[in-house]
Amino acid sequence: MALLEGKVVIVTGAGNGIGREHAKLFAREGAKVLVNDLGGARDGVEGEGAAEGPGPAEAVAVEIRKEGGVAIANTDTVATREGAERIMAAAVDAFGQVDVLVNNAGILRDKSLLKMDDAMWGSVLAVHLTGTFLCSQAFARLAVRRGEGGRIVNTTSVSGMLGNFGQANYAAAKAGVYGLTRTMSIELQKHRITVNALAPIAKTRMTDDLPMFHDTATLGPEHVAPAALFLASDLCGARTGYVLAVAGARMYAFKVVETPGKFKEGESTVWTAGEIAEHWDAIVRA
């Protein structure tokens, strides 16, 4: 039997790139898919960057239906509570339930810290972090009432885990998604809702102008979708709170770890600044 037979999946930001690959693979595995995409440019400006004809969400839904799958399109924003609730309602109205949420929607407004303005900061956090929170909360409330569990797959980033020049807004948002994933995994475990995240490296519309992606055919979004499928399916089991990273053929996990540290010696238990400097290597060594 297909891995997602009988399941209903919402994929946000599914009109292009990684989200599109997620939606198509899920449909091939038997899921009924709500394809959500606002249809804007990669900086989030509505109406820009879209091709002539149907919007990207509808175009992907049409592709899925032509391949024999079941899909509908949705163009609500993830960045407001009303939008998030309309996305959930659209899936329930069409298919009667929601089993899986994939938070993939994102925009980029890169600028160095000293040149970044409030709009660049706020818009990126609104889509990536607030959007993930709002959609996850709306989904989880439905899943708890239904009482049959569910799965949330978030999208963080190497930038969020390690930082990246020119991406203070994006890195902060994606680091927030990591913390949100960890907390939701703890809180929702008792409701049999797993919450995991992907940290993908792939050539998409979002990354097409980065030098590292110019001459490679090995970092396509098709490498990422199977990891999302695993986390969205029963193959994942009860695993929750993980960040699975995918970079082409390489798959690995991100973890925040603490060093063994060092206990202060002597009568006083209060470290002085000088003692911290003296024992720095022992304090930070993993």
Across the range 66-72, mean pLDDT stands at: 98
Q: In this structure, are residues 75 and 55 in contact, taking their beta carbons and an 8 Å threshold?
A: yes
User: Does residue 3 fall inside a structural domain?
Assistant: no
Which domain, by its residues, includes 219?
8-255
pLDDT tens string 38-60: 997 655 565 544 456 679 999 99
Domain count, the chain: 2
Q: What single string gives the DSSP state of each residue in 69-137?
A: -EEEEE---SSSHHHHHHHHHHHHHHHS---EEE--------B-GGG--HHHHHHHHIIIIIHHHHHHH
170 flagged as catalytic: yes
Segment 258-281 shows an average pLDDT of 96
User: Is residue 171, in this structure, part of any structural domain at all?
Assistant: yes
Please give the share of the chain, as a percent, with pLDDT higher than 70: 90
Are residues 274 and 231 located together in one domain of the fold? no
Q: Is residue 170 part of a domain?
A: yes
Q: Which is catalytic among the residues 170, 178, 242, 252?
A: 170
236 and 267 fall within a common domain:
no
Considering the domain architecture, whether residues 193 and 279 belong to the same structural domain is answered as no
Please compute the mean of the pLDDT values over residues 226-248 and round it to a whole number.
Answer: 97
Do 133 and 179 lie in one domain? The reply is: yes
My answer on whether 284 and 186 are in the same domain is: no
What's the chain's length in residues?
Answer: 286
pTM of the model: 0.91
Whether residue 34 contacts residue 139, with contact meaning beta carbons closer than 8 Å, is answered with: no
If asked whether residues 150 and 53 sit together in one domain, one would say yes
pLDDT over threshold 60, residue 11: yes
Please give the C-alpha separations between residue 286 and each of 154, 259, 262, in angstroms, as whole numbers.
Answer: 28, 5, 11
